[in-house]
Structures are given as C-alpha cells and as structure tokens.
Amino acid sequence: MYEVIRKALREAILDRRIQPGLVLLEGPIAKLFDTSRGPVHTALEKLFEEGLIQRFDGRGFIPKTFASDVEPVRAKLTFENLGITQVAAQPVESRPAADRIFDDVEEAVAMSIAFGHFKINEIALSEYYGVSRTVAREVLGRLKSRQLVEKTKQSPWLAGPLTARAVADDFEIRALLEPALLIDSAPQLDPDKVSAMQRRLAHLILHPEEQTASAVAKIESELHSEWLSFAHNKKALKMIAQSQLPLMVNRIFFSTLGIPPGDPVFMENKLVVDHIAQGAYEAAAASLKAHLKHAAERTRKRLKVLSVFPEPQLPPYLVRVT
C-alpha cells in the first residue's frame, strides 16, 4: 500500500509534475488514496530518506526539488496538484474488501469499548460498508484475534467494556515478555533502520507540533511488534499481539484530546533505541521495562479521563448492550 503511494509521489516529484512548494500532509493524502494514515506516513518517510522531500517550519513536507526557490503552498490536495493521474491510485481499489474497511471498523470498535458494552450487528456492518456478510465476518474475525471483540457459537459479536483491570493485565503481560524478547530480537535488527528510528524520534522531540497520534502509533507498532518479531519464541509474540488494549486506550485518548504537551513517550522510546544502537541490549530491555511501567500509569489515568466524556457518535452497526 505504501509502495503505491510512494511510487506515485516519487515519479511526480522527479518529473516535476507536482505543484511547486505544495505542502504534503498525511490526512489529505490518505483520503485521496482511500487508505489509513499508516501507509502514507511510511511512504513520506521513505521519500524523506531518499532526499526527495524535506521538512520545513510547519506540519508536513514539501518537495525538495523546489524548496530552494518556492514558498510552501498550503492548498487542498488533489491528484491534479500532486501531479498524479487518477489511474495511479486505482491499484488501491484492487485490495480485498476486508482490507479496505478493516481500519475503519477497528477504529469504531476501539472507540466504543471505552464507553461501554456493545453488540456488533453483522448484517448492519455489511450494509454500512456495502460488502458481503462473509467480508464482515472476516473483519470481525481479525478483531477477535486481537482480543477487541468476542463471540461464541450462541452469542452475537460483542465488544467491551474496556476496564482498568483488563488494561493492567495486558501491561503486566507485556512487561514480563517484551524485554526478554527484545534481547533476543535486537541483535538481528537492521542498523540502518535503528539509525532511522533514532533520527525520527530526535526530530519529534525537537518538533512537538509533529507529535501526532499517527506518529505515536507508528513508533509503538515498530518497537513493540515489528522489532520484536525476530525473537524465537513465537508463542510469546502471539501473547503480546493479543495484549493490545493499552494501545487502544491511548489511540482513543489522543483522538479525543490530542497528544499531551511534553508527553514523555518519545523520550522513553528514544532511550530504548539509543541503547540498541550501542549494542547495549540488556540496558535497552531495562529501559523498555521502565517505559512500560510509566506507560501503564499514564494509560490508567487516561482511561479514567475518558470515562467522564460523553459517548461519541458511533456507526449504526454498534448497538449498546443495556
């Protein structure tokens, strides 16, 4: 997905088809390509690493080709001013239907569980997105594997409620497993990828205006999933994959209130990455364990804050259980 976006933007920049000085932002590009922000973030990071785009005094990027003589242009992003034909975006639509709607369904379910206990109407879900019930069941099956929904043969699909005890249990599992898995996995990490993560975290620490929910989600996904995936204990990795409620709490909190000023998550993660870069894997594991301890306390407080907020407007396939 990110390769489709990266290739389209790359060719437009190299051919000078993109509007000079155009500010490139994750959200508007994601809407154009009918995807979530994750692939766009990755595509832009890769273009940045290639030296084709650069940051400036503001949010987003501008094409480096034009940066020397053109002021940043903040305009509505369209395929036309991006220099991309509609045809370039069509491969995105060839994705399986379950892949196209999964992010939206996950976001809605994650939001709901912080506000109570909900039933998911499978027929209403399929009608809402214009997909078959088979596709709806596939999406819900994926959410079940992530422990976001549950179902037995006799029961409907159910989500929530998200409790402080459940979040604490997940943090306890992660604190026990992740440091050990990091020691096993870290020596196999690509040094260039580690250096790139150091630079990204350093930049975010110096530029609080770029500390977005998507930036946190990207970094947490890499450090707590991708970077641990080289470990040999696959059962432990599966347990971590099923202990993601804390990430959901923070996603909901950030989407509701934004990133708190001076949030230490970037500094804590950078300490872990700095130790890995130095080959100090035991120290990296200790820093990761400390990060998880502090994150558990922050998440507990955030869940408490969310409990006093009014229930957001949810899609009609989510029905509160009374």
| Confidence at residue 287, expressed as pLDDT on a 0 to 100 scale | 97
Q: Which of 181, 186, 305, 188 has the alpha carbon at shortest distance from 241?
A: 181
Tens-place pLDDT, residues 22-58? 888 888 888 888 887 778 888 888 888 877 888 777 7
Q: Which CATH architecture is the domain 164-306 placed in? A: Up-down Bundle (1.20)
Across residues 104-124, what is the average pLDDT? 90
Longest dimension (CA), the chain: 66
How long, in residues, is the chain? Answer: 322
Is residue 94 scored above 60 in pLDDT?
Answer: no
What radius of gyration, in Å, describes the C-alpha atoms of the chain? 21
On whether the CB atoms of residues 254 and 157 are closer than 8 A, the answer is no
Tens-place pLDDT, residues 267-293? 999 999 999 999 999 999 999 999 999
Q: For the chain, what is the mean pLDDT?
A: 86
Element holding 274 (H helix, E strand) = helix 265-277
Across residues 175-203, what is the average pLDDT? 94
pTM across the whole model: 0.63
Is residue 125 scored above 80 in pLDDT?
Answer: yes
Cβ-proximal residues to 193 (8 Å cutoff; 6+ apart), any chain = none
Cβ-proximal residues to 216 (8 Å cutoff; 6+ apart), any chain = 250, 254, 259, 265
How far, CA to CA in Å, does 7 sit from each of 30, 32, 47, 49, 216? 15, 15, 9, 14, 25
Across residues 115-136, what is the average pLDDT? 92
| Confidence at residue 86, expressed as pLDDT on a 0 to 100 scale | 55
CATH class of the 2-93 domain in this structure: mainly alpha
Higher pLDDT, 137 or 103: 137
- Measured in degrees and rounded to the nearest 5, phi and psi for residue 99 equal -70, -35
Using DSSP's 3-state secondary structure scheme, residue 89 falls into: helix
| Confidence at residue 66, expressed as pLDDT on a 0 to 100 scale | 47
Cβ-proximal residues to 49 (8 Å cutoff; 6+ apart), any chain = 196
Is residue 199 scored above 90 in pLDDT?
Answer: yes
d(CA 278, CA 80): 46
The pLDDT-based confidence of 87 (bands split at 50, 70, 90) is very low
User: For a pLDDT cut of 70, what percent of the chain falls above it?
Assistant: 95
Domain locations in the chain as residue ranges = 2-93, 97-162+312-320, 164-306
Does domain 97-162+312-320 match CATH 2.60.40.1120? Answer: no
The pLDDT-based confidence of 92 (bands split at 50, 70, 90) is very low
Preceding peptide of 179 cis, ω within 30°: no
